[in-house]
Structure formats: C-alpha cells, structure tokens
Amino acid sequence: MDYDEFKPMLQAKDEQTLYVFNFWATWCKPCVEELPYFEKINQRYDNVEVTFVSLDFSTKLNELVIPFANKYKLVSNILLLDDTRSFYWIPDVDENWSGAIPATLIFSKNERAFFEKAFTFEELESEIKNRLP
C-alpha cells in the first residue's frame, strides 16, 4: 500500500490497545534479528497489536517478503509500504526519523513514542510495559 492508504493505521482506534509498528526490510540484519522479539510481545500481551511494515521493494513481495514471513513463521500483521515519496512520509511518521531502519513507532490514544534503533527483547518489553493502557 502507499502511504496515503497506510497513514490512517497510525491513529489509535481503541483506548485499550497499544499499537506497535516496526519498520524493517528483509535485507536489514538488525531488523531481522529483532523480529522474534516483536513476535514474542505480540503473543504475550493481548492488548498489544504488532504490525511489521516492510520497506522492501514491491517487486520483491512474492520473491522475498512472503517467503521470508513463511520461513520465520511470522504471525503478526505484515504489510509492504510501497511509496517512493519517502521525503513526505518519513517525517510524517516522526519528524526526527532520518529514514534508517529498524525503526519502531509505539502509540496508544494518549501517547506516542518513536525509536530509530534495534531493540533487545528486554528493552522492547520495558517500553511496552511502560506504555500499556
């Protein structure tokens, strides 16, 4: 989907849910290393909704992204952001984002936090626990 289709997803819809969007790509080693941590969070917390936002080329969806998701048995939501206007959508996601990945947006109705870094499981879980509604 392009950013205009994706943008409404960046608004909290439920006061009891914490939304986690992890921006990644199959070729990004730190991204791939932290994916299991997000999966574990998604399975451990009922009121946390994890979405993986792939920044791979759309031409690689069937060749790389889908086989990758199947190989690693990803069960969280996965979408491919196909929008070349990064100058538009990167600062719209967070004004301080340089565009580097991995990057993670965590938000609820009352709070929004952005991280341009790779997480350890402990760091990620701490951020989640501190923000649970």
Domain spans in the chain, listed from the N-terminal domain onward:
17-131
Q: Is pLDDT above 90 for 63?
A: no
Give the whole-angstrom CA distance, residue 76 versus residue 35: 10
- Chain centroid offset of residue 116 CA: 11
Give the whole-angstrom CA distance, residue 94 versus residue 50: 18
List of residues 6+ apart from 29 with CB closer than 8 A = none
List of residues 6+ apart from 48 with CB closer than 8 A = 17, 18, 19, 20, 41, 42, 128, 132
Q: Which two tokens stand for residue 52?
A: 């993986």
Determine the pLDDT at residue 78: 94
Helix 121-131 × helix 29-44 angle, to 10°: 50
Percent of the chain whose predicted confidence (pLDDT) is above 90: 88
Determine the pLDDT at residue 133: 79
Residue 93 near residue 114 (C-beta atoms within 8 A): yes
User: Which of the listed ranges 71-75, 117-121, 129-133 does the model predict with the highest average pLDDT?
Assistant: 117-121
Determine the pLDDT at residue 77: 95
The helix/strand/coil state of 93 is: helix
Length of the chain counted residue by residue: 133
Q: Stretch 110-130: mean pLDDT, rounded?
A: 97
Residue 92 near residue 99 (C-beta atoms within 8 A): no
17-131: CATH number: 3.40.30.10
Tens of pLDDT along 44-57? 999 999 999 999 98
Which residue bears the tokens 């080329």?
57
